Amino acid sequence: MTSAHKVPLSAGVGLRLPHLSEVVASRPPVAWFEIHPENFLANPHACELLDNVARDYPISVHTVGVSIGSATGIDMDHLKRVRRLIDRIGPILVSGHMAWSTHAGEYLNDLLPLPYDDETLGILVSHIDTVQNGLGRPYLIENPSSYVGFGHSTMTEVEFLSELVARTGCRLLCDVSNVHLSAHNMGFDAFRYIDGLPADAIGELHLGGFTAEEDDGRPGATVLVDTHGAAIADSAWNLYAYALRRFGPKPTLIEWDNDIPSLAVLLAEANHANEIAANVLTPETRRAG
């Protein structure tokens, strides 16, 4: 099913179960919502409420259990369940992480990193093809939050993502906060990373809160942890403005999954994203989006 809604080039918020009834009842002023399908697959009541929301708002579906990086392959039963939900609500976009989180049928709680080499590239190309065929639509791949790298990687993350786009026709979800915190943790330049991404492939942006913690391996240094449990930092807003200038206006998600605040707080963060877009985008870059 294709969406009855146009893709909004403005900010939306994550729709998590604690806010579902409030959204149905109050119809808050926000351009769109993003959901994790895994929250709804075994919850018929939540699905009914979601149907109600999807009639009036564009919905983006962000999978957290598809695990395109698992060497053991895609869980086709899970993919079929996601497909049924997609066919039911007609989302504007469907996305997932470049990571692995399942092994031998076990679902792990973390999004685990991948080496960027030809062998991994071949596996991910095959898995993205499987996912796009199974879902019957393009899939957006999200850049990870990184804390460690692999010594045998032969490509940068930007080169690896660009190859995935070229070989599969997938699109990219650029998590701007992930770029910022990975740049801090891994020691690369976040702005050059944004410069290197294939701009035509960017279909969505994410902004989430992170937490600074002491780095056990480097006394006196901090590691930024992708907690999705805090307001968006000024440094991430700054990189977001830069990303908008490069990519043009994009649907931008406020991600907040832990210590979830009131809906009003989420809407204020979305409004701030829209204010930044209004300040940095020219009439020409608006059309380019």
Q: How far is the CB of 267 from Fe ion (least distance, A)?
A: 19
Compare residues 38 and 175 and give the one whose CB is closer to Fe ion.
175
Q: How far is the CB of 176 from Fe ion (least distance, A)?
A: 9
Compare residues 31 and 98 and give the one whose CB is closer to Fe ion.
98
Q: How far is the CB of 255 from Fe ion (least distance, A)?
A: 5
Q: How far is it, in rounded angstroms, from Cα 67 to Cα 274?
A: 31
**Tokens linked to 23:** 């959204």
Q: How far is the CB of 253 from Fe ion (least distance, A)?
A: 7
Compare residues 131 and 232 and give the one whose CB is closer to Fe ion.
232
Given 204, 206, 224, 256, the residue binding Fe ion (CB under 5 A): 206
Tell me which residue of 180, 173, 174 sits closest to 233, measured CA to CA: 180
Residue number, nearest CB to Fe ion = 206
Q: How far is it, in rounded angstroms, from Cα 252 to Cα 205?
A: 5
**Interacting positions 62-101 with Fe ion (CB under 5 A):** none
Phi first, then psi: give them for residue 214, nearest 5 degrees. Answer: -65, 140
Compare residues 49 and 228 and give the one whose CB is closer to Fe ion.
228
By CB under 5 A, which span of 157-165, 173-181, 189-197, 210-218 interacts with Fe ion?
Answer: 173-181
Burial of 116 (0-12, 13-18, 19+ CB in 10 A): buried
Q: How far is it, in rounded angstroms, from Cα 145 to Cα 83?
A: 26
Compare residues 157 and 175 and give the one whose CB is closer to Fe ion.
175
Q: How far is the CB of 180 from Fe ion (least distance, A)?
A: 12
**DSSP letter string, 183-232:** HHHHT--HHHHHHHS-GGGEEEEEEE--EEEE-TTSTT-EEEE--S-SPP
Compare residues 96 and 248 and give the one whose CB is closer to Fe ion.
96
SS3 content of the chain, % helix, strand, coil (to 5): 45, 20, 35
**Interacting positions 4-63 with Fe ion (CB under 5 A):** none
By CB under 5 A, which span of 98-106, 190-198, 200-208, 259-267 interacts with Fe ion?
Answer: 200-208
Q: How far is it, in rounded angstroms, from Cα 215 to Cα 224?
A: 9
- Does 175 participate in binding Fe ion (rule CB under 5 A)? yes
Q: How far is the CB of 175 from Fe ion (least distance, A)?
A: 4
- Does 204 participate in binding Fe ion (rule CB under 5 A)? no
Rounded to the nearest 10 degrees, how much is the dihedral formed by the CA atoms of 64, 181, 204, 65? Answer: -10
Q: How far is it, in rounded angstroms, from Cα 88 to Cα 227?
A: 31
Compare residues 49 and 179 and give the one whose CB is closer to Fe ion.
179
Q: How far is the CB of 67 from Fe ion (least distance, A)?
A: 16
Handedness of CA 81, 15, 179, 211 (dihedral sign): negative
Site string for Fe ion, 119-158 (x = CB under 5 A): ----------------------------------------
Q: Which residues bind Fe ion (CB under 5 A)?
A: 175, 206
